[in-house]
Structure 1
């Protein structure tokens, strides 16, 4: 199958959406499918206000039209609600071809966290974007239920996976710090609720691996925390494996892929009992969910690393890709011939 993915999230950005899309594309190509990714690097762009790592593409309509006609896809997927997502949506509606979308990020909650506006306002924009979609792929049962409550009638359940070959148990001597080592890996931004972790009175050491717009201010606020940035997946895997407990304080993630990556490295998870952790961890004995995050982190230290590793093995990208293919809606004729 020839699949076109029009996305605002792509390299060199470092976030869960890019990780998901990269792994998905790699798996689909390995299965023999042809993929074209139409992404911000192909267009003029400006930094996103308050988040300069993310580029907002400008004047992309002509480039998207040319790329889609040249590639003539069998199916089109729009995984992000940014400028490229909207431009791809307009193209599909103009050409009268079906497309699918995905709900990777709780933008309404992020907008509220940054501006204080009522949730209903950004949700109305999200509803408008996704309304013509043949299927809105939701990464977890919780997100599927939540979108249903907000009136998304075309939401369908999907899932995410983990690369267990890259993320695996390794020696802990990569990090020479007092133990136990409580670890967070991911974007450092206001919506990740990091102070809930960094303020905890925990034994041993706390470490944050990642970058983002809140990193500088949090480094000043929490100088006792160890701050790192990983260079590539191999080094990132070593950071994961060096931890003793992965602490995930976010209250707004749609899934939380980093939890799976930690588990694949044999590291148990401590998190709040909210969507994301409830979907990844649930009642499985590979993590502790509690409103008392300190108690959860301490209790997680007693969990078997092998049990965590075995659980992560259930989330293969081959399975995710096969499900993705069943949710796509084929165009029925080459888009390059559409009028």
Structure 2
């Protein structure tokens, strides 16, 4: 497994990669995790009870993303590692220098590679004043992924889109959610009181990086449309990022909860009432499933995870992709029918209960084994 982000870094790619590692370890496979160091004291750690081997490679800070690093070119080092202990298959999760060096080393050694399309970097360019580079970035991504046996994507919609753009064989590996961690039972009246809310008041919540590509101004517009009908509504932003200082300065009425993890994060989800997901750049949106598991209906655009899992009008509302006005109208309509929100949340929880990670582990294992070229030992094959 080759990745440029991994916990304790907090983002959807890191969480997904950790789940993939844990799933393969739980099924008895040996896993080697290759990633950049996350600071001077990072020499690798224990990933799971079965102890995945970690190889730490040089990295550098990622511009615009404090706390994240990208890997440097290290083909020779990977050739040495993989010549000494040859892996059956290599999964490359990120398309930076580390991912390209892993791809080059694997091709020299004739080891099958599967890539993951976790981030739409071509779309991100629009939000960092690099829109003119979007076609060039897409060509680089396409050339990289087309060198692999196949590319894993989280939804059927994204598979069709990428294949239409000339990406080679794409296969869907969806996402799951930990319904024991993310649960409505973690709702905390004391936390809601800190937000200035009573039992009958509404908290609109968003969880994610506070960055340009997350379309956060639309969260504020939807919040304003909602509280025109229900003035006691509060908006809570959970997360951190480069836009936090600016947003706090411009929107003093918004609660900024900062970065939260584990049970504390789950408590924040469950203490909300309606989840707002205004992104138009996410390849999936793991936070959508976490919100649903916490019994929150989701207001989102009709794509990615919301399209896959939200039943509009029953477990949330879907606005046409990119239609900000429709998004805000849906928020106002929900405010007018706020008595529906608890029932919609229960419906969302019911859907999330069927999205267990173990099903995805089984599919991922079968896919990996299907691309292994070298004969496996009888015990492993069994």
Tell me, yes or no, whether TM beats 0.5: yes
Give the distance between the partners of 1:221 and 1:83, measured in 2 at CA: 37
Report what 2:206 is aligned to: 184
Query: Does 2:220 correspond to 1:198?
Result: yes
**Which ranges in structure 1 are unaligned for 5 or more consecutive residues?**
335-339
Report what 1:309 is aligned to: 349
After TM superposition, the structure 1 stretch with the greater mean CA deviation from structure 2, 325-334 or 210-219, is 325-334
Change (3 A) 1:84 1:59: closer
Say whether the 8 Å CA contact 1:78–1:102 is kept in structure 2: yes
Report what 1:337 is aligned to: none
Deviations, residues 35-62 of structure 1 (Å, cap 9, x unaligned): 2211112122211112232202224233
Deviations, residues 176-223 of structure 1 (Å, cap 9, x unaligned): 223200000011111110101113313210010001222222222222
Give the distance between the partners of 1:36 and 1:283, measured in 2 at CA: 41
Query: Could you tell me how far 1:109 is from its partner in structure 2?
Result: 0.3
After TM superposition, the structure 1 stretch with the greater mean CA deviation from structure 2, 321-330 or 74-83, is 321-330
Report what 1:325 is aligned to: 365
Secondary structure of 1:6's counterpart equals coil
Query: Could you tell me how far 1:332 is from its partner in structure 2?
Result: 1.2
**Which ranges in structure 2 are unaligned for 5 or more consecutive residues?**
38-55, 228-232, 377-382
Give the distance between the partners of 1:207 and 1:68, measured in 2 at CA: 47
Report what 2:51 is aligned to: none
Higher RCO (CA < 8 A, seq sep 6+): 1
After TM superposition, the structure 1 stretch with the greater mean CA deviation from structure 2, 312-321 or 59-68, is 59-68
Query: Could you tell me how far 1:71 is from its partner in structure 2?
Result: 4.4
Equivalent runs, 1:167-178 vs 2, <5 Å: 167-169=182-184, 170-173=186-189, 174-176=191-193, 177-178=196-197
Query: Could you tell me how far 1:274 is from its partner in structure 2?
Result: 3.2
Say whether the 8 Å CA contact 1:7–1:38 is kept in structure 2: yes
Question: Which residue of 13, 18, 28 maps to 2:14?
Answer: 18
Query: Does 2:329 correspond to 1:261?
Result: no
Query: Does 2:91 correspond to 1:77?
Result: yes
Change (3 A) 1:120 1:242: same
Say whether the 8 Å CA contact 2:213–2:279 is kept in structure 1: yes
Change (3 A) 1:296 1:127: same
Give the distance between the partners of 2:6 and 2:375, measured in 1 at CA: 28
Report what 2:82 is aligned to: 68
Say whether the 8 Å CA contact 1:167–1:261 is kept in structure 2: yes
Report what 1:225 is aligned to: 254
Report what 2:315 is aligned to: 286
Report what 2:265 is aligned to: 236
Secondary structure of 2:91's counterpart equals strand
Give the distance between the partners of 1:63 and 1:222, measured in 2 at CA: 49
Change (3 A) 1:66 1:333: farther
Change (3 A) 1:221 1:130: same
Report what 2:108 is aligned to: 94
Query: Could you tell me how far 1:137 is from its partner in structure 2?
Result: 0.5
Say whether the 8 Å CA contact 1:262–1:269 is kept in structure 2: yes
Change (3 A) 1:213 1:242: same
Say whether the 8 Å CA contact 1:78–1:99 is kept in structure 2: yes
Query: Could you tell me how far 1:172 is from its partner in structure 2?
Result: 3.5
Q: TM-score, normalised by structure 1?
A: 0.91
Secondary structure of 1:277's counterpart equals helix
